[in-house]
A and B are shown apart, each in its own frame.
Chain A
Amino acid sequence: ETGVTQSPTHLIKTRGQQVTLRCSSQSGHNTVSWYQQALGQGPQFIFQYYREEENGRGNFPPRFSGLQFPNYSSELNVNALELDDSALYLCASSPNVQGAVYGYTFGSGTRLTVV
C-alpha cells in the first residue's frame, strides 16, 4: 500500500499560464477527489472522478478541469492562471464514492505559487 502520491511538490507559474498537477491514487482506490487549500483555510472541493467520469463539481470555474485514467490516476489542469489560484492542491482517493463516509486518503499536495 503506497498511499497517494502527488507531483510536483512545488511549482511556480506566471499569471496566464497553464498548469497540470498529477496524482496517483492509493492501490485499490477507484475514486479521486481534488481539493484546493488556501493558506490558513480548510480544503475546498474542486471535483471528483469515479471510473474516469466526473462525479461532482464544486464552485470552481471551467478553467479548472480534470482527467482520470484507466489506472485511476488523475490530473488537474488549470488554465489562465490567476494570482488567487496560489494554494495547496490536494488529491484524495477512496475505494469507492463513499469516501465522505469512510474517510479519504489524502496526498501531501502540490504547492502552487502564481506570480
Chain B
Amino acid sequence: GQSLEQPSEVTAVEGAIVQINCTYQTSGFYGLSWYQQHDGGAPTFLSYNALDGLEETGRFSSFLSRSDSYGYLLLQELQMKDSASYFCAVNRGNNRLAFGKGNQVVVIP
C-alpha cells in the first residue's frame, strides 16, 4: 500500500524561506516529484529526485532521503507568485504518480 503525508498550510512573508516536507510509505519507489498548482490552474512540474541528495533549480530545491522515506521542497526568496499548493508525488514505476494531499503556501507582503 501507500500513503503520503504532507502538512496542510503555511504562511510566510515575501523573501522568506519555506520548507515543505513529504513522508511516504509505499510498496514500490522509483522517485519523488514535486508539482505546483495555483488555484484553479494546471499542476506544473517543479522537480524530480530519484537518488538521495539535493537538486537545485533556481529558487527551488528538492531533497530526498530514500532510507528515511522522506523528501522536502525548499522555496527560497519567496515571491507573491509562489502562493500556491505544492504536491509531492511518488513514482512507483508503473507509469503513474501517487500524489499527496498537498500543502498550501500563502505568501504575504
A residues bordering B, Cβ < 8 Å? 4, 33, 35, 40-45, 48, 50, 55-56, 58, 90, 92, 97, 99-109
Contact = CB atoms under 8 A, between A and B. Distances in A.
Contact of B42 (A33, A58, A99, A108): A108
Contacts of A108: 40-42
B80 interface: no
B67 interface: no
Contacts of A40: 101
Nearest to B89: A42
B44 interface: yes
B42 A106 contact: yes
Contact of A103 (B33, B50, B93, B99): B33
12 contacts: A40-B101, A41-B101, A42-B100, A42-B102, A45-B97, A50-B95, A55-B95, A58-B96, A100-B95, A103-B48, A104-B45, A106-B42
A103 B30 CA distance: 14
Given A43-B87, A103-B48, 14 more contacts: A33-B95, A42-B4, A42-B99, A43-B99, A45-B98, A55-B95, A97-B95, A100-B30, A101-B30, A101-B48, A101-B50, A103-B33, A105-B45, A107-B42
Interface string B66-109: 00000000000000000000010101011111111110000000
B99 A44 contact: yes
A48 B95 contact: yes
Given A100-B30, A100-B33, A103-B48, A43 B43 contact: yes
Contacts of B99: 35, 42-44
A38 to B, nearest CB: 10
A108 B43 CA distance: 8
- Closest A-B pairs by Cβ, 4 of them: A42-B99, A103-B45, A100-B91, A106-B42
B21 to A, nearest CB: 15
A44 B102 CA distance: 12
A99 B48 CA distance: 11
Contacts of A92: 43
